[in-house]
Amino acid sequence: MIYLDNAATTPLRREALEAMLPLLTETYGNPSSAHAAGRRARAALDEAHETVARCLGGQPREVVFT
């Protein structure tokens, strides 16, 4: 297990902010909802699972965001 919890005290990198801004301002639906905003949020969440898994050499289903 890789534990990446830096609590609320870690400064946000500029690259992370730039990646997050569109999701915070345009893709804010509940990823479990069936409406368009929810589907966009689900697609973004699925992509994040795949990206993290690929970086760590794992499977998307093994990635858990808390």
4-55: per-residue pLDDT in tens?
Answer: 777 767 778 899 999 989 888 988 789 999 999 999 999 999 999 999 999 9
Number of domains in the chain: 1
In a domain, 4, yes or no: no
In a domain, 14, yes or no: no
- φ and ψ at residue 64, rounded to 5 degrees: -125, 125
In a domain, 2, yes or no: no
In a domain, 9, yes or no: no
* Structural domain span for residue 34: 28-66
Q: Look up the pTM and report it.
A: 0.73
In a domain, 6, yes or no: no
- d(CA 32, CA 56) in angstroms, rounded, equals 26
Task: Give the pLDDT score at 28.
Answer: 78
In a domain, 22, yes or no: no
Average pLDDT over residues 57-66: 95
7 in helix, strand or coil?
Answer: coil
In a domain, 66, yes or no: yes
Cα–chain-centroid distance for residue 60? 12
Task: Give the pLDDT score at 1.
Answer: 67
In a domain, 48, yes or no: yes
